[in-house]
């Protein structure tokens, strides 16, 4: 099974900061990686797919990079609406594993 590990688990930042979340796969998943944002009481929202492709309608301050086993999600200038929990997901195989999540909090 492919394990996905995110770091950090919690991240505190100010509005306007640039932040980066890391996701590591236990084996190579090429670029079959997606990032989701979830707010309390809401369904997840797709932000990034194929490691670096921005989903339609997602602000350009979000960006993704990486391939193989190491990936990052960056937010260039945090907005109040960005404080949420972020999940990575591999779709290289049929187990569609999610990372454990990174909670982004306002400092």
Partner 1 sequence: EVQLVESGGGLVQPDRSLRLSCVVSGFIFEDVAMHWVRQAPGKGLEWVSGISWNSGNIVYADSVKGRFTISRDNAKNSLYLQMNSLRADDTAFYYCAKGIFGMLTPFDYWGQGTLVTVSS
Whether the Cβ atoms of residue 77 and residue 18 lie closer than 8 Å to each other: yes
Closest to partner 1 by CB, 53 vs 76, is 53
* 67-96 footprint of partner 1 as x/- string (CB under 8 A): --------------------x-x-xxxxxx
- HSE (side-chain half, CA atoms, 13 Å) at 5: 8
Q: Does 12 bind partner 1 (CB under 8 A)?
A: no
Based on the shown chain and the rule CB under 8 A, indicate whether residue 24 belongs to the binding site for partner 1. Answer: no
Q: Enter the tokens of residue 32.
A: 């079959």
CB atoms within 10 A of CB 39: 13
Least Å distance, CB 15 to partner 1, is: 26
The radius of gyration of the chain's CA atoms, rounded to the nearest angstrom, is 13
Please report, as ranges, the residues that interact with partner 1 according to CB under 8 A. 32, 34, 36, 38, 42-46, 49, 55, 87, 89, 91-101
């Amino acid at each position: 099974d492919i394990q996905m590990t995110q770091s950090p688990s919690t991240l505190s930042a100010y509005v306007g900061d640039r932040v980066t979340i890391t996701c590591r796969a236990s084996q190579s998943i090429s670029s079959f990686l997606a990032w989701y944002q979830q707010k309390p009481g809401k369904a997840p929202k797709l932000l990034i797919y194929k490691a670096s492709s921005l989903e339609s309608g997602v602000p350009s301050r979000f960006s993704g990079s990486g391939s193989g086993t190491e990936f990052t999600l960056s937010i260039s200038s945090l907005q109040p609406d960005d404080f949420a929990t972020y999940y990575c997901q591999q779709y290289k195989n049929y187990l569609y594993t999610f990372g454990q999540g990174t909670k982004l909090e306002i400092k």
